[in-house]
Amino acid sequence: MNREVPYWNPYLERLTRDSLERLQLKKFKQIVNWAYDKSRFHRALYQSAGVHPDDINSLADVGRVPKVEKAMMQPIQRKDPFPYGDALCVDLEDVCVFRQTSGTTGQPVYQPDTWQDWEWWSDCWATLLWAQGYRPSDRVFLPFGYNVFVAFWAAHYASEKIGCETIPGGVLDTKSRILKIQELQATALMATPTYVLGMADTARNQLHLDPAALPITKITCAGEPGALIPATKKRIEEAWGAKVYDHAGATEIGAWGFECASQPGALHVNEAMFLAEVEDVETGKPVTEPGQRGKLIITALDRLAQPCIRFDSKDIVEIGDDRCECGRTYKLFKGGVVGRADDITKVKGVLLAPSAIEDVVRSVQGLGNEYEVIVDKKGDVDNITLKVELIEDQAGTAMEELKAELATQLRLKTNLGYNLEFFPPKSLPRYEVKARRFKDLRKRGI
């Protein structure tokens, strides 16, 4: 096999726009037909909207198909065919693996997959790992809890499919994982940005070991934004002496987006396997122009057991200009997932994305990696507090200078003033999987 080929799939990854759209329309019609025939949930949804699969004759017709939200999946599950209920499209005997969402936004959604679905999941992951330079010569360390959450399971299978030597680093504490990386001379690592930064801290502070001295050359981050937030990417790359790449996906969707080795500051959408639409958060109208932001509505074009058709991902993305030196023709989302529709909110009348705060916190020298943002109300006025951790205890002039710089940068990047609270090193909460650093207490009526 020629390892120099830069594409996992040299045919699909370089299709012309016309060919890609023809393929997407063909596949979209197939998956809608499949769901209409096999899923009681989808058939009822489409019938109530007055839409039949035969009505879809162009990509412009895609918008006629009703969207699906996570909240619509929760009530149809835990019923026969148990536990998946009305959206299951295959015989229960063909389901070979169970996963579930984390449940951070309510009751977890169960996700059935057949072996064919797993082949597809792992192929989507293989596409992104190959694009990031993973080859059979790599020794890949996966430090995650191998359990009911999908996390990096498909990455594990993809790593094996590529032919990498794949090390399952589950059920070990962080120190043991770092020592295992050192012992086995692993060359690549995959985890959330939060955990990768935490590992670097643990290596330095508890093992007195410089993570940059380990043989890790590339890190794939997923699970939360960060690897495409410039200041966070820089911190991780400097800490580990490695290239850091972003990836986006979800349990109900699949591995839909990836940063390639050219690091264009954007995610490619795997358009041969997914149809990505972007709509205005408030009007629901399509967003298509470079520089515009909107909410991602996505279809997994080949996922069969429990189809994902026009799923409201709640991810906020920005349309890119679709030019990347890697040669892929897949569209780009600049900055990756720049926020969640649930999190992007107006504070004092200003639209605020928490990722912008992270970019500031991690670009200011003297501040640690951990922070917390709390929005509440004082009377009728919005109040925003930023809690940040210091790298080392500071006082006097140095502290005042740090505070002034942080306030200035925050004002410049987010157009807001903050109550700033500083905390000693290692005093704010640590997260091993998905960090929840943004808390809008106004939504709870507190």
Interatomic CA distance for residues 236 and 193, integer angstroms: 8
Question: Helix 174-184 crosses helix 193-206 at what angle (to 10 degrees)?
Answer: 80
Task: Select the residue interacting with another protein from 39, 101, 111, 114 (CB under 8 A).
Answer: 114
Q: Mask 272-291, x = binds another protein (CB under 8 A)?
A: -x------------------
Q: How far is the CB of 123 from another protein (least distance, A)?
A: 6
Q: Starting at the earlier edge strand, list the strands of the sheet with 139-142.
A: 165-168, 139-142, 188-191, 218-221, 243-250, 254-258, 266-269, 332-340, 311-319, 293-300, 274-279
Closest CB to another protein among residues 174, 270: 270
The answer to the question of residue 115 lying near another protein (CB under 8 A) is yes
Q: How far is the CB of 11 from another protein (least distance, A)?
A: 5
Interatomic CA distance for residues 86 and 384, integer angstroms: 43
The answer to the question of residue 102 lying near another protein (CB under 8 A) is no
Site size toward another protein (CB under 8 A) is: 21
Closest CB to another protein among residues 120, 371: 120
By CB under 8 A, the residues from 117 to 146 that bind another protein are: 118-120, 123
Stretch near another protein under the rule CB under 8 A, chosen from 35-43, 113-121, 327-335, 375-383: 113-121
Closest CB to another protein among residues 26, 40: 26
User: Which amino acid is residue 431, in one-letter code?
Assistant: Y
Q: How far is the CB of 158 from another protein (least distance, A)?
A: 12
Strand partners, 296: 278
Note the Cα 423 to chain centre separation in Å.
29
The answer to the question of residue 271 lying near another protein (CB under 8 A) is no
CA distances from residue 90 to 26, 84, 99, 109, 255 in whole angstroms, order as listed: 21, 11, 16, 17, 22
Closest CB to another protein among residues 221, 269: 269
Q: Mask 3-22, x = binds another protein (CB under 8 A)?
A: ------xxxx-xx---xx-x
Closest CB to another protein among residues 118, 431: 118
Cβ-count burial of 187 within 10 angstroms (0-12 exposed, 13-18 middle, 19+ buried)? buried
Closest CB to another protein among residues 305, 347: 305
Interatomic CA distance for residues 115 and 133, integer angstroms: 26
User: Cβ distance 320 to 288 under 8 Å?
Assistant: no
Residue 132's SS3 state is coil
Structure-token match 């879809």, residue found: 56
Q: Mask 298-337, x = binds another protein (CB under 8 A)?
A: ----x-----------------------------------
By CB under 8 A, the residues from 28 to 87 that bind another protein are: none
User: Cβ distance 199 to 177 under 8 Å?
Assistant: yes
Judged by the rule CB under 8 A, the positions of this chain that interact with another protein are: 9-12, 14-15, 19-20, 22-23, 26-27, 114-116, 118-120, 123, 273, 302
